[in-house]
Structure formats: C-alpha cells, structure tokens
Amino acid sequence: MLRIYDTRARQVEEIAAGRALRMYVCGPTVYRYAHVGNLRTYLLSDLTRRVLERRRTRMLVCQNITDVGHLADDGGEDKVLAQARAEGRSVAELARFYEDAFVRDTAALNLRPPEHMPRASEHIDLMIELIAKLVEQGNAYTVPDGSVYFDVRTFPTYGEISGNRLDSLKPAHRIDAVDPRKRFHADWALWKPGTGELSWDAPWGQGFPGWHVECSAMSLRFLGSRFELHTGGIDLRFPHHEDERAQSDAAAGHEVVRHWVHGEHLLFDGRKMAKSTGNVVLLSDVTSAGLDPLAVRMAFLEHRYRQQMNLTWDTLRAADRTVRRWRTRVAEWSESPSAPMALDYVKRVEAAFDDDLDTPSALRVLRELERDDGVAPGAKFETFLHVDQVLGLDLSTDIGKARVLPAGAGELLEARARAREAEDWTAADRLRDELAEMGVRVSDTAEGQSWQ
C-alpha cells in the first residue's frame, strides 16, 4: 500500500487504491519554457502513478493547460497575453508553442502523459456554468462592473490545506487585495471584465475567468465530484489550492479531493530559480551541456519529493555518470544466463517506494545490489529492469546495440587473422597494438580471435 504525505491532514496516509484511482495535476501556464524546477513537480505525479500502476491500479489522470486567466500578481494583465505581445505572436500561437515545448520536455524526462490534458481556453463554458451555480447558491456575488467574487466566509473550513485561516488573514499589498467592491478582503475573483483576444461573453458581461476557477471546473468535469489525489508544487498551497478546494467543495456539497500532495521547491546553486535572478535552467541547457535529459530525473530521484533540493551542475554530471554506468552494466548483465529476480532486493526497493516515495533509499538498495558479487548477473539484470519501470531511467537503452568497428579496424582484424594462420606472431602482436590504439580490444581464444 502506498503511503504518502497529505498536506491537509499533515501526516503520511495510506492511499486506498482499488482497481482505479483518479488524480488531478496542476499543469503549466504556457507563456514561457518550463524550467527544471517546474519539471520537478511533475515527477511527483509521475512517480505516484508508476508506483500505483505497479500495484495493478488503473490510473485516470487529468493535467490542465492554463492558457488564460493567470494574471501577474493576481492583478494587472494576463501573463499569456502580455508575453504574446512581447514576442509579436497571437495568443493562440504563443500558447501552443510553449505547450508543445512542455510536452517535449516531459517526454524527454519519461513522464507518462495524462489521459486528459484540457486547455482552459477551450472550457470556458464549464467555468461559466460553475460560477453561475456558486452565485445561485450564495457562495459568490456579482458587482456592477461585471466581476464575480467568491464569498470566502461562506466556506468555514477555508485554510485547512495551508493553515491560513480566515480569522488570521490580513489584507495583502496587492492591487486587488483591498478592492472596495469585495465584501471581505480575502474574497477572490471568479470572473473579471475584459475585452479583446482573451475574453468571452457571460451572464455578467464580457470577460475572462479567474485562474483558480479553471482547475475546479476542469477537475470536476474530467474526474467527477470525488477523486483521490491532487498534486502540485508547494507554492500552490495558498492561495491557489485553498481557493480551488473552496470552489469545488461548495459546488459539490462535499469534500471533493481526498488527498492533497505537494512537492517542495528546487534551488539551483543555492538560489531560488527565477528569471529575475538569471538563475533559470532549462532542460535544453542540460542537453546542450552534453548530459542525458534523464540525468535530471536521476538527480531528482536522489532526493525526497517533499524535501527542498539544491541542484548544481556537479550534481547533474554525477547523475549522468550513474545513468550511463547502470545502462552499461545492464547491457553487460543481459549477456549472462537468465536468472530470477533478486527478490530480497526487490522487496526492499518496493518498500522504499511505498514509504512516501522514498526514492533515495531505493537507489541505495540498487547500488548495494550492483556491488553484490553473490547475486548472479542475470538476476541483477532482471531486478534492475523491474525497478526501472518506476525509476523511468531507460536502463535497457544500451541492450542490443550493434557493435560498430572504427574505420579501418575491419581490415586490420582480417590481416591479423591471416598473420595468426601463418604463425607470424610478431605481426599479430603489432596489429593487436594498432587495434588497441583505435579502441578495439582483441582476445585470442581456442575458436579464434574475438574483439570488443
């Protein structure tokens, strides 16, 4: 049984996984490239999925694409619209460009694609319907300019995820935090008036949805009114997930999400990854440095998902060496006689996975297995590939690669074979040395010469 830390419950809880389990993942806002800090969050949902699927649980995952409604500092201009203007593109062109880049990056990290990946801009009708229901129930109210706000005081358990209770919340210094149109300073916009490329007609006037209401509307539509898991970065606990929970639960009349799970921040060289500090590292930067993109995944696996991590280039290079070494070892072990998996090691690795996704402990067990001379190579091969179904490091990549000789080496091997037949051992030794300089190691056996 997978046990994972539930942010709302503030403790590790068992995930009651039956034959099927539904999970919602807060997806990207597609106005720029995702950096490796963003991508770490999505590894959390991928690991959760892989561990549960190894337990024969069928996963149904929804991960949204935010291409409207995410305003800078909860006020001002839509981030997608502002970036589209800066790059001289239409909103649709910009959003699809960065959405495609995100999909490529997640594929390079072996993150399994969700069953549903709805775009906010294509589901405005769901949001309007949800907002109308909240207004009708008295959980939301309209103001003369066409804005609609959620009345947070109608949701008494607000703050259970983050601990930010209403009686302790103070007005922030953001643009709309002290908006006189609000009944209470912590109310937030479900709909905002607006015109132009990112605006739609609604009962309250032309405008666009708030960021928080998008996730409520799409999760309820694609996963239903009750689902087991909701994941995201730790920065989304407040206000995004608090607001989303209030909207969804108010509309459904009950608790919609059973477990809220969050991944911690990623630092790079000891600093928060941010464009303003010039500290942003993209996956393309990693590959441009000659590293395998799965070195990033390996580096992330060396730390618990809810542990703040400081990534460095040295860390990435070390992870790259480990991935390449394990692929080489797996390829070598594949040539040995088949043997059953090393079950003691398998049980220890799977116990680590089930213990709140303790991937560092799982990797330590694998390193111990790698060094254990008492385990047959064939058993190591089977075990590493079994565990790699969760690790996702493509450890079988080097198996079956064709052996390609350097240019001219084939002719030297033929010449050496002829020299051996003629018992010209001096020439045979000289040719072996020449081949060694080319990176070809020649061995003599009873059946003739062989090479690597």
Annotated binding site for Zn(2+): 26, 215, 240, 244
Closest CA to 25 of 106, 89, 93: 106
Provide the annotated binding site for ATP.
Answer: 275
CA dihedral 360, 366, 368, 372 (to 10 degrees): 180
Q: Which amino acid is at 420?
A: R
- Contact yes or no for 187/149 (Cβ under 8 A): yes
Burial (CB count within 10 angstroms: exposed 0-12, middle 13-18, buried 19+), residue 143? middle
Whole-angstrom distance, CA of residue 397 vs CA of residue 48: 23
Query: Across-strand partners of 3?
Result: 14, 355
Q: Kindly write down the DSSP assignment for every residue of 224-272, as one continuous string.
A: -S-EEEEEEEGGGIIIIIHHHHHHHHHHHTS--EEEEEEEPPEEETTEE
Q: At what angle do helices 377-391 and 36-54 cross, to 10 degrees?
A: 120
Supply 351's token pair.
């116990």
Instruction: Please list the residues that pair with 21 across neighbouring strands.
Output: 59
> How many whole angstroms separate alpha carbon 111 and alpha carbon 88?
31
Note whether 115 and 160 are within 8 A (CB): no
The 10 Å CB-count burial string (b at 16+, else e) for 372-387 is eeebbbbbbbbbbbbb
In this structure, what are the phi and psi dihedrals at residue 115, rounded to the nearest 5 degrees? -70, -35
Alpha-carbon gap, residue 428 to 443, rounded angstroms: 11
Sheet containing strand 20-25, edge to edge, reads 58-63, 20-25, 227-233, 257-263
CB 140, CB 86: distance < 8 Å: no
Annotated binding site: 26, 215, 240, 244, 275
393 three-class SS: coil
